[in-house]
Structure 1
Amino acid sequence: MNGIHDLGGLQCFGKIDNKDVDVKFVDDWERRLFASTLCSFGALGPIDAFRHAIEKMDPVHYLSSSYYEHWLEAVEARIKELNFTQSDIGVPLTPTDIESIVATGAHYARESVPENEPLAVGLEVRALPHSPEGHTRLPNYIKGKKGIITELRGTFVFPDTLAHGLGECEQPLYSVRFSSRELWAGRDPTNDAVHIDLWHSYLEVCDV
């Protein structure tokens, strides 16, 4: 979906304040929220449903709230969406479980053979210009832009369906290189490029 969360490539939002990059938590409640959110993923659905809950925040509230306030909003939204109650709580995760999740993350790679035949490395592709109503990991600023596939990452769960309870629908995942000139309509004279991981459904092969 198009939303205020998708700020990549936009201007007039001011300079990024990164002076406290080593500070993980500003307040103690953020530390507690971080731990409780990780514990909740099994009960409140996959991380893509969590991300979509953030995407649906009121734009003014999104811009005026902090990073972990977004997390809190998403947890509360998922509890309401699932009508989650105290009686629904299962076996809690242990500290060892949490440590493993933080260290390695959840695994969304799959060994199964996808329905889509993987595209070849070196192929020129275009990111689709569509804007789905639901969750997507396709950034707005690359829609309609051309790039080159530089690597096949493997087969991964498709977030657009997983976020809405529509199954894993695993697909090939590619690393695609977009030149800065392509992304910024020739305004960037450098040879810089952006590499973005994109699912098969986000791409179409350019005409030869």
Structure 2
Amino acid sequence: MSRIHDMGGRFGDGPVVPEDESVKFHADWHPRALALVLASGSLGKWNIDVSRHARECLAPKDYTAFSYYEKWMGGLATLLVDTGVVSRDELAGKSQGEISELAVKKLSADQVAGVLARGGPADRPSAVTPVFAVGDAVVTRAIAENTMVKGGHTRLPSYAAGAKGTILRYHGTHVLPDSNAHGLGEAPEPLYAVVFAADQLWQHPEHAGDEVVLDLWQSYLVPA
């Protein structure tokens, strides 16, 4: 059974309705939510994979009801409490918080542009040798689960489990989310762009000639 957030290709969730991409935010509080998440991340208490897993771990009833930025705020609330940045009472406004020792790490307005420009590159040097080359046929793991942590974070979507594809590009070695999301180290390994025919992923694709490209880590793949 797929986890609640793993919605790609799943029946019963209704049609995908494209939004106007010229509209960046749909409510006044959305940019504030984005800013708060980015500023909190600068405290260095978690990484991007930890934050993604926090959103995935929201209660199913909340995950299905929350909008995009509500999921971000729900995940952030969990992270702030779990890492001891604030207490539950402080977060709920039930107690008067004190100035944290983390205040020295606060992101000031003049730092924002530089921080956003740098981003968070995930490419790393690694001793792990790539075993696939462009053009190689591969098959993804039959079950899209984290093999290191039960119920843990992974970037292999369930709709692509057990599917046959072709290596389209080699991206170099990158941080492995399955490990990095759970405090087990970055464990960088080769990352590939893998192209799949639509009929390899779905029994009755709307357009059989379509292709889907996924970025997948080496441990997700075996030779076809």
| Fold shared per TM-score above 0.5 | yes
Does the residue aligned with 1:28 lie in a helix, a strand or coil? coil
Question: Aligned equivalents of 1:119 and 1:97: distance in 2?
Answer: 41
The answer as to whether partners of 2:168 and 2:193 remain within 8 angstroms in 1 is yes
Alignment size in residue pairs: 205
Q: Which 10-residue stretch deviates more, 142-151 or 97-106?
A: 97-106
* Superimposed CA distance per residue, residues 88-136 of structure 1 (whole angstroms, 9 cap, x where no aligned partner): 42321233433244445311112x2332434111111111023222011
Q: Which has the higher contact order (CA 8 A, sep 6+)?
A: 1
Work out which of the residue numbers 173, 182, 186 in structure 2 matches 1:168.
186
Could you say which residue in structure 1 is the equivalent of 2:29? 29
Letter in 1 for 2:57: K
Letter in 2 for 1:185: Q
Could you say which residue in structure 1 is the equivalent of 2:94? none
Question: Aligned equivalents of 1:33 and 1:191: distance in 2?
Answer: 40
> Does structure 1 residue 154 correspond to structure 2 residue 172?
yes
Q: Which 10-residue stretch deviates more, 181-190 or 137-146?
A: 181-190
TM-score (norm 2): 0.84
> Does structure 1 residue 76 correspond to structure 2 residue 77?
yes
Could you say which residue in structure 1 is the equivalent of 2:107? 93
TM-score (norm 1): 0.90
The answer as to whether partners of 1:151 and 1:175 remain within 8 angstroms in 2 is yes
Unaligned runs of 5+ in 2: 87-98
> Does structure 1 residue 47 correspond to structure 2 residue 48?
yes
Give the RMSD, CA atoms, in angstroms: 2.0
Could you say which residue in structure 2 is the equivalent of 1:15? 15
Question: Aligned equivalents of 1:34 and 1:23: distance in 2?
Answer: 15
Could you say which residue in structure 2 is the equivalent of 1:108? 122
Letter in 2 for 1:98: V
Does the residue aligned with 2:81 lie in a helix, a strand or coil? helix
Question: Aligned equivalents of 2:156 and 2:19: distance in 1?
Answer: 29
